[in-house]
Amino acid sequence: MASRPRTLYEKIWDAHVVETREDGTALVYIDRHLVHEVTSPQAFEALRIAGRTVRRPELTLAVPDHNLPTTPRLDSRGLPIPIADPESAAQLAALEANAPAFGIRYIPATAKEQGIVHVVGPEQGFSLPGTTIVCGDSHTACHGGLGALAFGIGTSEVEHVLATQTLLLQQSKPMEVRVEGALGPGVSAKDLILHIIGRIGAAGGTGYVIEYRGAVFEAMSVEERLTVCNMSIEAGARAGLIAPDDVTFAYLRGRPMAPQGAEWDAAVAYWRTLRTDEGAVFAKSVVIDAADVEPSVTWGTSPEDVVPIGGRVPHPEDFADESKRVAAKKSLDYMGLTPGTPMTEVAIENVFIGSCTNSRIEDLRAAAAVLKGRRKADNVRWAIVVPGSGLVKAQAEEEGLDRIFTEAGFEWREPGCSACLGMNPDKVPPGERCASTSNRNFVGRQGPGARTHLVSPAMAAAAAVTGRLADVRELV
Amino acid sequence: MQPLTRAQGRAIPLGLKNVDTDIIIPARWLKTISREGLGQGAFETIRAEPGNVFDDPAYAGAPILIAGDNFGCGSSREHAAWALADLGIRVVIAPSFSDIFSGNAVKNGILPVVLPQDAVDRLLDAAREGLEISVDLEAQTVTTPYQDRFAFTLDPFRRHCLLNGLDEVGLTMARGEAIAAFEAQRTAARPWLMRGTAA
C-alpha cells in the first residue's frame, strides 16, 4: 500500500501511537525516560500516595545534575562529601531513595558516569535514533541530535510516564529549518542555532517540531547536532531533530546501552528508514544560507536577542513591534547596556563553559584551542569549565585539556548543570556580566541580577582572554 | 485536580511578552520536594520593583492573569503552574503560550486562554480600570461589563479534563491492555527497544 510521503517527525510519531481518542488526542508510547532530582520528587510521591508502581523501570534512567555543587565530591579518604545546602541535600537524598525503591537504574553523584542527563543519555547509548525520549527538563530536545523525538515534560507528565510508559499528546506540526552551504571558520553549531533563534524568534517554533535539514547538519558531528537540537526549545519548538546517518551510527556503536551484535545490525537497518520522504510537506519552512552566519552573541534577556559579534547593541526604537520595543528597553536596563555600543566593547567579569548545550568533549577542545598558551584577562574575576559528565572530564584530562584551562586561569570542576541555572552554588553575582556557553539569558537565570551573554565555547574562551566579548576569528 | 467551569473577578494586567518560567518562579525555589507554598517565590524579580501589579491591592486575590505573547516559555518546571495555583490564579489570558507550560497549567486546574493581541489589549485596559472579567470554559468565552465577548477554544480533551477535574494518569491506567498489546508487538519486532538500561 502506497502511503502519503511523511516527514521524519511524522514517521517517529506514527510508530509510537498506541491509540487515538475520538477527540484527536493520542496515547503515545515513551521509549526512554531520564529523571533528575529537581522535577521528580513530587512525581514519585504521587505514585506512592496512589499506590502505583513504575510500569517499565528499565526504560527509565536516573542521574542527579541540577543541584550538585561542582566542587570535589569525595574527601581525602574517598568518602562522599555531603551537600552543605539542606534543601539541595534533601532533593538529592529523595532521588537516591526513590530510584531503587521503584526499581530504576541510578547513577550516583560520585560515579564516573554521572553528568548532565542530556550528556549522559547519548553517552551511555540509552538515547537512540527513532525513539521517543522524555525528561522533566525542557532541554531534552537535545537528544534529537541522534534522530530521536525528544522533549521536555512537567512533573505530572513524569508521573504519567512512570506509571504508564505513555503520554497523552496532541501532534505538533512539522517545521523545516534548512541550512545549505558550509559554516565559515570560527563559526560553530552554537553560533548557528543562536542565529536561527534570532531569525525565527523565541516563539517562532511554538506548536512545531523542527527538523534541521541540509548540508550543514549532514557535515556536523553528533556533538554539534546535540548542541543545535538542544536549543530548539529556545525557539519555542517542542522538539528538534536531525535524521540519523552513518555519523550517528558510528557515534553509538559499542556504547553500553546500545544494541549489540545482530540486534545492532537490525537496529541500523531500521534507523536508515528514518528520513523525511521525498515530497513530504512541512507546515513551515525556513531557509538559511550558512554563509550569512557569523559568530553570534546575545545582548538582551531573551535568546532571540541575537547579533553577530561585529554588531552593536540595538536601539529599542529600531524594532517595528511595540511590545518588542518595550521588552528591549527593559532588557537593556537590566543588562546595563547603552544602545549603539559595539558588542566587542562590552567588558565581562565571568566566563562559564559548560551546560547541556556545550559541555561535551568537542566543546572543551574548541575552547582549549583558543586558550592554549594564553591567560584570562585581569578583569575576568571568575572563569570555570564544567565538563558535561565524568567521562567527558576523564577524556579531557587524558588529552591534557584540564592543564590548558587551569594554566589560563580557569577552574576545572566536577560535572553538573552548574552556572547555567542559578540553583547550585555556581552563580554570577548581581550586576556582573558573564560570557556563557549555556542556553538561557533570562533575567536572573545565572543568579539574581546576573547579566548573561550567550556564546559558543570558542567565543567564551576569546572573551576570557580579552576581558570583553570578542571575535574569536581575530585570535586564531 | 480541581475542576474549572467558570472564573470571575479582577484580573492582574501583567501584559509583558516572553514571560519565562524563571520569571514565574526562579530556580532557587525549585529545591522543594513539595508542590505547596510556591506562591511565596512567584514573580520574585517583578515583585522587587516598587508599584508592581502583583502587590497592588487593587488586584489582591484576582483569579485571572493577563500577559503578552509566549507566556511560560523556557524551562519545563511545573513549579510555575504550582506557583500560579498557590497565588489563586485559575486563568491566564495571553496571545500565545509555550507548549509545555499550557500542558502543565491544565494539569493543575489552570485554564490557558489564547486570544488575539487586540482582544488581550482590550482586556488589559478593562483590568487596569478594575473591572471584573468573566471566563466561561463551558461556553469558551471571555466577557467584560463593557459587553465585550471574546470566543476562545481549548482542545477538547484538555477542556474535558478541566471541566471534570480528571486525573490523566487514572484515565490512561484504564487503557493498560492497549498499552500491553503495543508493548508485546514492539518486543517481538524490535526487542532492543524494550531493553533500556537492561541492555
What's the confidence (pLDDT) of residue A2?
57
B153 in contact with chain A, both atoms CB, cutoff 8 A: no
Find the closest chain B residue to A20 by CA distance.
Answer: B178
A203 → closest Cβ in B69, B192, B195: B69
B163 in contact with chain A, both atoms CB, cutoff 8 A: no
For testing contact with chain A, the best of B40, B120, B124, B169 (most A CBs within 10 A): B169
Contact call for A24 and B183, based on CB within 8 A: no
For testing contact with chain B, the best of A206, A232, A270, A356 (most B CBs within 10 A): A206
For testing contact with chain B, the best of A323, A334, A355, A438 (most B CBs within 10 A): A323
pLDDT in tens, chain B (199 residues): 889 999 999 999 999 999 999 999 999 999 999 999 999 999 999 999 999 999 999 999 999 999 999 999 999 999 999 999 999 999 999 999 999 999 999 999 999 999 999 999 999 999 999 999 999 999 999 999 999 999 999 999 999 999 999 989 999 999 999 999 999 999 999 999 999 999 8
Helices and strands per DSSP (H, E), number in chain B: 8, 8
Contact call for B99 and A236, based on CB within 8 A: yes
Distance from CA of B182 to the nearest CA of A (A): 6
Residues 6+ apart with CB under 8 A from A340: A312, A313, A315
The DSSP bridge partners found for residue A297 are A307
Per residue in B3-45, pLDDT (tens digit) is 999 999 999 999 999 999 999 999 999 999 999 999 999 999 9
Contact call for A166 and B190, based on CB within 8 A: no
Q: What is the mean pLDDT of each run of 10 residues along chain A (476 residues)?
A: 87 98 96 98 97 98 98 95 95 97 98 98 98 98 98 98 98 98 97 98 97 98 98 98 98 98 98 98 98 98 98 96 91 98 98 98 98 98 98 98 98 98 96 98 97 98 98 95
Per CB-CB distance under 8 Å, the chain A contacts of B196 are: 31-32, 56, 58-61, 126, 257
What's the confidence (pLDDT) of residue A3?
80
Say how far apart CA B136 and CA B6 lie, in whole Å: 4
A58 → closest Cβ in B35, B179, B197: B197
Q: B75: which 3 cell numbers?
A: 524551562
Per residue in A43-83, pLDDT (tens digit) is 999 999 999 999 999 999 999 999 999 999 999 999 999 99
B157 → closest Cβ in A21, A60, A153: A21
Does the domain at residues A297-474 carry the CATH identifier 3.30.499.10? Answer: yes
What's the confidence (pLDDT) of residue A5?
98
What residue spans define the domains of chain B? 6-166, 167-199
B33 in contact with chain A, both atoms CB, cutoff 8 A: yes
A29 → closest Cβ in B16, B44, B182: B182
Distance from CA of B47 to the nearest CA of A (A): 13
Predicted ipTM of the assembly: 0.96
Distance from CA of A181 to the nearest CA of B (A): 31
B197 → closest Cβ in A24, A257, A444: A257
Does the domain at residues A8-169 carry the CATH identifier 3.30.499.10? Answer: yes
A232 in contact with chain B, both atoms CB, cutoff 8 A: no
Instruction: Determine how β-strand B133-136 pairs with β-strand B6-9.
Output: antiparallel
Do the beta carbons of residue A119 and residue A127 sit within 8 Å?
A: no
Correct CATH for B6-166 of 3.40.50.2300, 3.40.1410.10, 3.40.50.300, 3.20.19.10: 3.20.19.10
Contact call for A159 and B169, based on CB within 8 A: yes
Contact call for A126 and B186, based on CB within 8 A: no
Which residue has 465585550 as its cell numbers? B148
* C-alpha angle A252-A226-A433 in degrees, rounded to nearest 5: 145
Which parts of A39-151 fold into alpha helices (H)? 41-50, 86-101, 117-124
Per CB-CB distance under 8 Å, the chain A contacts of B175 are: 18-19, 27, 164
What's the confidence (pLDDT) of residue A1?
47
Element (H, E) at A177: strand A173-180
Find the closest chain B residue to A131 by CA distance.
Answer: B193
Please list the residue range(s) of chain A that carry CATH number 3.40.1060.10.
173-245+269-292
Per residue in A258-282, pLDDT (tens digit) is 999 999 999 999 999 999 999 999 9
Contact call for A164 and B155, based on CB within 8 A: no
Give how far Cα B164 sits from Cα of A261, A357, A416, B63, B158, Å.
51, 40, 41, 19, 10
Compute how many other C-beta atoms are within 10 angstroms of the C-beta atom of residue A321: 12
For testing contact with chain A, the best of B172, B177, B194 (most A CBs within 10 A): B172
Torsion of CA A245, A248, A251, A255, to 10 degrees: -110
B74 → closest Cβ in A29, A90, A138: A138
Please give the backbone phi and psi of residue A152, each rounded to the nearest 5 degrees, phi first.
Answer: -80, 150
A442 → closest Cβ in B22, B160, B191: B22
**Residue environment code for A364-382, b if the CB has 16+ CB neighbours within 10 A, otherwise e:** bbbbbbbbeebebbeebeb
3-state percent helix, strand, coil for chain B, nearest multiple of 5: 45, 15, 40
Find the closest chain A residue to B29 by CA distance.
Answer: A423
Specify the CATH number of the domain A173-245+269-292: 3.40.1060.10
B102 in contact with chain A, both atoms CB, cutoff 8 A: no
B40 in contact with chain A, both atoms CB, cutoff 8 A: no
Find the closest chain A residue to B173 by CA distance.
Answer: A164
Q: Crossing angle, helix A361-371 and helix A457-466, to 10 degrees?
A: 30
Contact call for A154 and B17, based on CB within 8 A: no
For testing contact with chain B, the best of A164, A173, A301, A424 (most B CBs within 10 A): A164
B103 in contact with chain A, both atoms CB, cutoff 8 A: yes
